[in-house]
């Protein structure tokens, strides 16, 4: 999710592994002075002004920490093209999970991840959720929460709640429901891919996928080392599976890593072989350790952006290897309206390429964005956990020229907020709205959900949803790894214990793996 958010203070003193084509997530990081945060997802210069931002319920009164109230601030903001001072948190759906996967691999290897490689939203969105599924092709919107206990020495800890905003789409009823897929695989065969668990894992995964895809699906294969080469033009699988297997089995690691050449050639092939009525995707499989050609992501992004805008071709990044260029891969997938994941085992690779990909090629929504409006009458302060490098300006929420994310069937996305209520506050806390375009007609649709104070008043560890508890543990763990903090944060030992208990009660192997990772981090710290 691309997001801008703010933290507000008182007057005295904001979503392969869920599936390969999911674009779901949130972003932002608050500032007490309400400075506007605007990312790449903005209308082009010279276009007509974007719609004014939504003012949340209760916005007619004086907003905390802002003289004159939000309505007057909005008029001034429109005059000088700055976003209004408000209680809004806006993001484009775009979920990655690579940060969590790579952190687990690093901890298992006996090393503590670098703080800059930790993105809490990717930890949160790596786990199954309990949101209801919509009946139609849109979204369900669920908002709930609970109170963590106050940490020792934490001022006004009893006024903090964790608020979970969850978005969900309907799963595919069957594989045949989706349109055909046209997938261009861009495969890193540089020398670094010779390490076990890199190219060999990619070959095994694509070999299985070749047998799982439908006869009317198509595959192209591009490889890159110091140069890029098209090994297979876009080819329909019917009658060609043996040929595709032969191409994949023949790949061998060699030379340097020219990611730019691979991405450019891959997109050229995807454009050349694109199919009308099909879902066209580029899949980049690499350790993303660029060391030849243009190694700066900014110089590679234009080609991706042009193909996305003109032809609707999006990018999915699959990271491999004990050394992994996480930042580069994340930026490339972000620009391509896709997402990233990280695989280090055959089990993980099968989940991404076999269990999920064949049914998740279909889209439920294009350019999906969400906006959470907090009520200034009840909310004193809020902060989104993670998503600092993702942003959509509040006033661009209903500007459909500003791109959002592509979301597939059966996907969920979660935004977790730390919310501080005003003393004695009762009533409405927040309303979350998701807006998206129909994949076929591009007609806009919206769905909303809201939450009241009584729905976030229960104790987090003593009765809240088990899935909400898993979400909180994942966020607390991520913040600990990067040196951040959250209200009511337990120590790593307690987090590991709670994760272990939840793994047993939910019978969820992913939660068991989370408990193991937390224990590993605790041992390294101690």
Give every strand in the sheet of 379-384, ordered side by side.
Answer: 139-146, 160-169, 412-421, 379-384
Q: Is the pLDDT of residue 32 over 90?
A: no
pLDDT of residue 62: 27
- How high does pLDDT run on average in the chain? 79
Q: List pLDDT tens digits, range 177-207.
A: 678 899 999 999 998 899 888 899 889 889 9
Dihedral-angle region of residue 428 (phi above 0 means left; psi in -120 to 50 means alpha; beta otherwise) = beta
* More confident site: 291 or 30: 291
pLDDT of 2 reads: 41
Q: What letter does residue 15 receive in the DSSP assignment? A: -
What is the spatial distance between Cα 56 and Cα 34, in angstroms, rounded to a whole number?
Answer: 16
Region 233-248: mean pLDDT is 96
pLDDT in tens, 75-101: 332 222 223 347 999 988 866 788 999
Alpha-carbon gap, residue 38 to 41, rounded angstroms = 8
Residue 179's alpha-carbon distances to 185, 249, 358, 439, in angstroms, are: 19, 28, 11, 12
Which pLDDT does position 47 carry in this prediction? 35
- What is the rounded distance in angstroms from the CA atom of residue 140 to the CA atom of residue 127? 18
Q: What is the dihedral of CA 328, 331, 334, 339, to 10 degrees?
A: 30
Query: What pLDDT score was predicted for residue 9?
Result: 33
pTM of the model: 0.76
pLDDT at residue 218 is higher than 50: yes
Angle made by CA atoms 160, 165, 167, in degrees to the nearest 5? 170
Lowest mean pLDDT among 117-121, 231-235, 474-478, 511-515: 117-121
Helices and strands: H and E segment counts in the chain: 13, 16
141's enclosing H/E stretch is: strand 139-146
- In whole angstroms, give the CA distance from residue 434 to residue 35: 24
Cα gap 341→212, rounded to integer Å: 20
Cα-flanking dihedrals φ and ψ of residue 274, to 5°? -60, 150
Q: Where are the beta strands (DSSP E) in 178-224?
A: 181-188, 218-224
As a whole number of angstroms, the distance between CA 94 and CA 411 comes to 11
Percent of the chain with pLDDT strictly greater than 90: 48
CA atoms within 13 A on the CB side of 450: 12
Separation of alpha carbons 29 and 179, rounded Å: 38
Per cent of the chain over pLDDT 70 is 78
**pLDDT at position 259:** 87
Question: Residue 55 pLDDT > 60, yes or no?
Answer: no
pLDDT at position 478 is 97
Q: Residue 360 and residue 338: Cα distance in Å, rounded? A: 13
Q: Which of 38-47, 269-278, 308-317 is the least confident region?
A: 38-47
Q: Which of 456, 451, 455, 457 is nearest to 428 (CA)?
A: 451
| CA atoms of 475 and 215, how far apart (whole Å) | 42
Average pLDDT over every residue of 98-113: 94
Range ranked top by mean pLDDT from 307-311, 339-343, 467-471:
467-471
Question: Is the dihedral angle over the CA atoms 426, 412, 415, 146 positive or is it negative?
Answer: positive
Between 261 and 440, name the one with better pLDDT. Answer: 261
Distance between CA atoms of 274 and 184, rounded to whole angstroms? Answer: 9
Burial class (CB in 10 A: 0-12, 13-18, 19+), 294: middle
Average pLDDT score over residue span 276-298: 78
CA–CA dist 477, 487 (Å, integer): 13
Q: Using pLDDT thresholds of 50, 70 and 90, give the confidence band for residue 295.
A: low
Rounded to an integer, what distance in angstroms lies between the CA atom of residue 95 and that of residue 412? 9
Quick one: CA dihedral 110, 116, 120, 121, positive or negative? negative
Residue 308 has pLDDT above 90, yes or no: no
Task: With cut-offs at 50, 70 and 90, classify the pLDDT of residue 152.
Answer: low
Whole-angstrom CA distances from 512 to 65, 201, 478 are 43, 24, 16
pLDDT-based confidence at 297, cuts 50/70/90? low
Instruction: Say what angle helices 259-272 and 326-335 make with each other, to 10 degrees.
Output: 30
Give residue 161's region: left, alpha or beta (phi > 0; psi -120 to 50): beta
Rounded Cα distance between 334 and 268, Å, is: 19
pLDDT exceeds cutoff 60 at 526: yes
Q: Which of 43-52, 145-154, 361-370 has the lowest mean pLDDT?
A: 43-52
**Distance from C-alpha of 345 to C-alpha of 101, rounded to nearest angstrom:** 11
Q: Which helix (H) or strand (E) holds 89?
A: strand 88-92
Distance, in Å, from the CA atom of 326 to the CA atom of 349, rounded to the nearest integer, reads 17
Contact partners, residue 520, CB within 8 Å, separation at least 6: 107, 108
What is the CA 294 to chain-centroid distance, rounded?
Answer: 26
For the chain, the first-to-last Cα distance in angstroms comes to 34
Whether 136 has a pLDDT exceeding 70, the answer reads yes
Residue 187: half-sphere exposure toward Cβ, Cα within 13 Å: 32
Q: Grade residue 301 by pLDDT with cuts at 50, 70 and 90.
A: confident
């Amino acid at each position: 999710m691309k997001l801008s958010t703010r933290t507000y203070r008182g007057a005295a003193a904001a979503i392969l592994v869920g599936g390969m084509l999911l674009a779901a997530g949130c972003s932002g990081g608050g500032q007490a002075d309400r400075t506007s945060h605007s990312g790449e997802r903005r209308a082009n210069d010279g276009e007509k002004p974007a719609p004014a931002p939504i003012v949340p319920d209760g916005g007619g009164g004086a907003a905390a920490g802002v003289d004159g109230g939000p309505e007057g601030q909005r008029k001034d903001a429109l005059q000088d093209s700055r976003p209004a001072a408000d209680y809004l948190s806006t993001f484009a759906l775009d979920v990655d999970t690579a940060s969590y996967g790579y952190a687990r691999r690093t901890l298992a290897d006996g090393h503590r991840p670098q703080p800059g490689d930790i993105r809490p939203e990717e930890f949160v969105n790596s786990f199954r959720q309990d949101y209801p599924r919509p009946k139609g092709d849109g979204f369900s919107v669920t908002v709930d929460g609970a109170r963590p206990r106050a940490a020792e020495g934490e001022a006004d800890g009893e006024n903090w709640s964790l608020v979970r905003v969850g978005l969900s789409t309907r799963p595919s009823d069957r594989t045949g429901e989706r349109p055909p897929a046209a997938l261009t695989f861009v495969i890193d065969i540089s020398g670094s891919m010779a390490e076990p668990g890199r190219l060999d894992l990619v070959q095994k995964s694509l070999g299985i996928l070749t047998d799982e895809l439908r006869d009317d699906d198509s595959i192209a294969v591009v490889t890159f080392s110091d140069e890029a080469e098209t090994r297979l033009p876009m080819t329909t699988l019917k009658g060609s599976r043996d040929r595709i297997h032969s191409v994949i089995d023949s790949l061998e690691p060699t030379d340097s890593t020219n990611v730019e050449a691979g991405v450019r050639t891959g997109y050229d092939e995807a454009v050349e072989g694109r199919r009308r009525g099909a879902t066209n995707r580029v899949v980049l499989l690499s350790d993303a350790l660029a060391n030849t050609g243009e190694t700066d992501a900014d110089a590679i992004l234009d080609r991706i952006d042009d193909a996305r805008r003109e032809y609707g071709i999006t990018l999915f990044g699959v990271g491999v290897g004990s050394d992994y260029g996480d930042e580069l891969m994340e930026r490339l997938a972000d620009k391509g309206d896709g997402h990233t994941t990280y695989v280090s085992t055959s089990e993980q690779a099968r989940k991404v390429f076999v269990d999920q990909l064949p049914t998740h090629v279909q889209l439920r929504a294009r350019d999906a964005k969400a906006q959470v409006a907090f009520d200034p009458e009840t909310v004193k302060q809020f902060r989104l956990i993670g998503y600092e490098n993702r942003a959509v300006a509040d006033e661009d929420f209903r500007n459909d020229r500003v791109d959002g994310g592509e979301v597939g069937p059966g996907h969920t996305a979660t935004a977790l907020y730390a919310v501080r209520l005003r003393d004695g506050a009762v009533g409405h806390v927040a309303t979350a709205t998701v807006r998206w375009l129909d994949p076929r007609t591009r007609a806009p649709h919206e769905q909303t959900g809201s939450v009241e104070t009584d729905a976030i008043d229960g104790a987090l560890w003593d009765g809240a949803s088990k899935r909400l508890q898993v979400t909180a543990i994942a966020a607390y763990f991520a913040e600990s790894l990067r040196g951040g903090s959250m209200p009511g944060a337990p120590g790593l030992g307690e987090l590991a214990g709670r994760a272990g208990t939840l793994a047993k009660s939910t019978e969820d192997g992913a939660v068991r793996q989370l408990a193991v990772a937390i224990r590993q981090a605790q041992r390294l710290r101690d």
